[in-house]
Each structure stands twice: as structure tokens, then as C-alpha cells.
């Protein structure tokens, strides 16, 4: 199941005057952010939500001009990689602003006017959609509650607060949104290839239903590449592509896919 991640922008755009007074807390925040990125990158089906204009505003803000501070080198590098379209896919959205506020207010006074506008667009998008996860950090989150967006109605959003000994986005994702392999006996490997009427049915060669060990197909699903509503991976041992299809909630069954039915973009990803 796809989940959409919204980042607390105050974690990557800092108040320069406050930084000069409380540098140690920002070094803690930098470490917490790296914890978040490391956890995020271990999750499939997590998409980072941002307009391109917001990304441009972030990377032109403080602290990315602090080139002479070695304590922030790793943070700046990881943040710029995370926020770069060269490194990841983004969920973009139309710039529609409605009268949506948040509790607590995540649009801070020190943000530029352009960034404040982008935050308002983002809040409007969150309020009308589902499956958003708000990611923030112990150093900059002064509230123990979940983020809420408010218009005519109030909507509460899943909120993950990263820090030492805290639940990460990976922990939450695996318990809530992770795609789970759920075998369909129709694709038992013992049956081989057969026809059900005019329908050709392929087995799932990587799964031994006699042992009922889902470790291998789950790993293939975790590492699979999405194409439309399906997920694909390549099973090197059995020399076949595997296609995973959703059948209920976040449950997916799989089967060996004939190479002629594999999308060209997927073949190219696996150099096949």
C-alpha cells in the first residue's frame, strides 16, 4: 500500500538567529534527520510529497549556505540528496490553497514568503487526501500530539517523531503500510503451468508451499519495482520475472510472469 510522507519543513529549513544561540540542539536535529532518511530509504511504497517549487525554496534557505561547518556536512549532504529529484520520485500536486490551518502551526514566521505559500498548498493537499504520514523530530516538535489540519472539519494525521530510541518511519510503515505477501494456492509451484479454461496460470517458483516459508517471496516483494498497480522483481535462481498483484488491503500474491508480459521499463530496470 502506498503511503505519502510529509516532512516537517522546520527540520530542514532553520531559523538562522536561533541557530546561532542554540547550535547544540541543531546538531541533535541533524542527527535525528539522518535517522529518518536511513529509515525512509529502507521502505518501499513510501513517497515523499512536495512541489518542485518547495524543494527549490528549501535548498536555497539556511543552513545550506553553511559550507564551512564540518559538523553539518553529513546532514547537508543527506538532506540535499533526499530532496533532490535526481535521487527519488516525488508525489507532486496542484497548487490549490484553501483555508486550512494546522495544529500546531507548522508554518513558521522565519520562513520566506514563498515557502509559507508552499506550506499552505501542502496543508490543503493533506487535508483533502488520505494515507499521509507527517514526519518530525524530537528536537523541533514541541507537541506530544499528532498533527491536525483544520478547515470546516478537523483531520488528524499519523505523526512520527524521530529521535533516539523513538519509533522510526520504517517501524510505522512495516506495521501499517508494508505490502505483505499472501500466497494464492492457484499459483502453487507443484502445479506448474496449467490452464484454467482459457486462462494460462503460472506457478510462483520461489515459494515452496510444502514448507510455507514466505521469507523469499516477501523479500522479492519488499524489493520489487512498482508499475501501475503491480510490482515486479526478477528471480535469478529460477530465471523468471515475478509479478505481485494486490488482492485485499495490503496483501499481495505472486506468480512467475512470462517475459512478453513484463513492461519494457521493468525489463530495462533489471537489464533484461
The string of DSSP letters for 136-148 reads EETTT---SSPPE
**Which stretch of 134-138, 142-146, 247-251 has the lowest confidence by average pLDDT?**
142-146
Please state the rounded mean pLDDT for residues 83-98. 80
Asked if residue 159 and residue 185 are part of one domain, the reply reads: no
Q: Which of 176, 192, 226 is the last residue of a domain?
A: 176
What DSSP designation does 21 have? H
CB 133 within 8 A of CB 169: yes
% pLDDT > 90, the chain: 76
pLDDT for 27 equals: 96
% pLDDT > 70, the chain: 97
How open is the CA angle 16-22-27, to the nearest 5 degrees? 90
Asked if residue 67 and residue 20 are part of one domain, the reply reads: yes
Asked if residue 8 and residue 98 are part of one domain, the reply reads: yes
CB 265 within 8 A of CB 241: no
Give the confidence band of 88 by pLDDT, cuts at 50, 70, 90.
low
The span from the CA of 212 to the CA of 35, in Å, is 34
Asked if residue 22 and residue 90 are part of one domain, the reply reads: yes
pLDDT for 87 equals: 58
Q: Which of 138, 153, 176 is the last residue of a domain?
A: 176
Give, for 1, the enclosing helix (H) or strand (E): none
pTM above 0.85, yes or no: no
Asked if residue 228 and residue 139 are part of one domain, the reply reads: no
Asked if residue 50 and residue 130 are part of one domain, the reply reads: yes
Please state the rounded mean pLDDT for residues 51-76. 90
Instruction: Indicate the Cα dihedral angle 94, 95, 96, 98, nearest 10°.
Output: 140
Asked if residue 203 and residue 128 are part of one domain, the reply reads: no
Asked if residue 213 and residue 86 are part of one domain, the reply reads: no
Given a cut of 70, whether residue 85 has pLDDT beyond it is no
Asked if residue 229 and residue 159 are part of one domain, the reply reads: no
pLDDT for 114 equals: 96
Strands 46-49 and 3-7: parallel
CB 148 within 8 A of CB 42: no
Instruction: Indicate the Cα dihedral angle 49, 144, 10, 170, nearest 10°.
Output: -40
Please state the rounded mean pLDDT for residues 148-162. 94
Give the confidence band of 177 by pLDDT, cuts at 50, 70, 90.
confident
The span from the CA of 170 to the CA of 173, in Å, is 5
Asked if residue 258 and residue 246 are part of one domain, the reply reads: yes
What would the pLDDT profile of 15-54 be if each residue is shown by its tens digit? 999 999 999 999 999 999 999 999 998 887 788 999 999 9
Higher pLDDT, 14 or 44: 14
pLDDT for 41 equals: 87
Instruction: Indicate the Cα dihedral angle 82, 109, 154, 11, nearest 10°.
Output: 20
What would the pLDDT profile of 227-261 be if each residue is shown by its tens digit? 999 999 999 999 999 999 999 988 999 999 999 99
Asked if residue 246 and residue 202 are part of one domain, the reply reads: yes
What would the pLDDT profile of 94-127 be if each residue is shown by its tens digit? 998 889 999 999 999 999 999 999 999 999 999 9
The span from the CA of 265 to the CA of 272, in Å, is 10
Given a cut of 90, whether residue 67 has pLDDT beyond it is no
Q: Report the number of distinct structural domains present in the chain.
A: 2
Asked if residue 96 and residue 19 are part of one domain, the reply reads: yes
pLDDT for 19 equals: 96
| Host domain of residue 206 | 180-269
What would the pLDDT profile of 200-226 be if each residue is shown by its tens digit? 999 999 999 999 999 999 999 988 999
- For residue 194, how far is the Cα from the chain centroid? 38
Q: Which of 149, 176, 203 is the last residue of a domain?
A: 176
Amino acid at each position: 500500500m502506498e503511503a505519502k510522507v510529509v516532512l516537517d519543513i522546520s527540520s530542514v529549513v532553520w531559523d538562522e538567529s536561533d541557530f546561532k544561540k542554540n547550535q547544540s540542539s541543531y546538531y541533535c536535529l541533524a542527527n535525528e534527520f539522518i535517522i529518518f532518511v536511513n529509515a525512509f530509504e529502507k521502505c518501499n511504497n513510501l513517497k515523499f510529497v512536495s512541489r518542485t517549487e518547495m524543494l527549490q525554496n528549501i535548498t536555497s534557505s539556511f543552513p545550506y549556505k553553511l559550507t564551512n561547518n564540518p559538523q553539518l556536512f553529513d546532514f547537508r549532504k543527506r538532506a540535499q540528496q533526499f530532496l533532490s529529484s535526481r535521487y527519488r520520485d516525488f508525489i507532486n500536486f496542484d497548487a490549490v490553497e484553501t483555508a486550512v490551518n494546522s495544529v500546531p502551526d507548522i508554518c513558521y514566521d522565519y520562513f520566506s514568503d514563498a515557502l509559507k505559500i508552499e506550506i499552505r498548498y501542502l496543508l490543503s493537499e493533506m487535508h483533502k487526501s488520505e494515507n499521509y504520514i507527517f514526519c518530525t523530530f524530537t528536537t523541533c516538535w514541541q507537541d506530544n500530539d499528532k498533527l491536525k489540519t483544520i478547515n470546516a472539519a478537523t483531520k488528524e494525521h499519523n505523526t512520527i517523531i524521530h529521535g533516539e530510541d523513538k519509533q522510526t518511519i520504517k517501524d510505522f510503515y512495516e506495521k501499517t503500510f508494508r505490502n505483505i505477501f499472501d500466497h494464492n494456492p492457484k499459483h502453487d509451484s507443484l502445479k506448474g503451468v496449467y490452464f484454467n479454461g482459457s486462462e494460462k496460470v503460472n506457478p510462483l517458483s520461489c515459494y515452496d508451499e510444502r514448507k510455507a516459508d514466505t521469507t523469499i517471496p516477501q523479500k522479492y516483494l519488499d524489493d520489487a519495482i512498482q508499475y501501475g498497480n503491480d510490482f515486479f522483481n526478477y528471480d535469478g535462481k529460477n530465471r523468471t520475472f515475478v509479478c505481485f498483484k494486490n488482492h485485499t488491503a495490503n496483501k499481495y500474491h505472486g506468480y512467475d510472469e512470462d517475459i512478453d508480459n513484463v513492461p519494457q521499463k521493468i525489463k530495462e530496470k533489471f537489464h533484461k
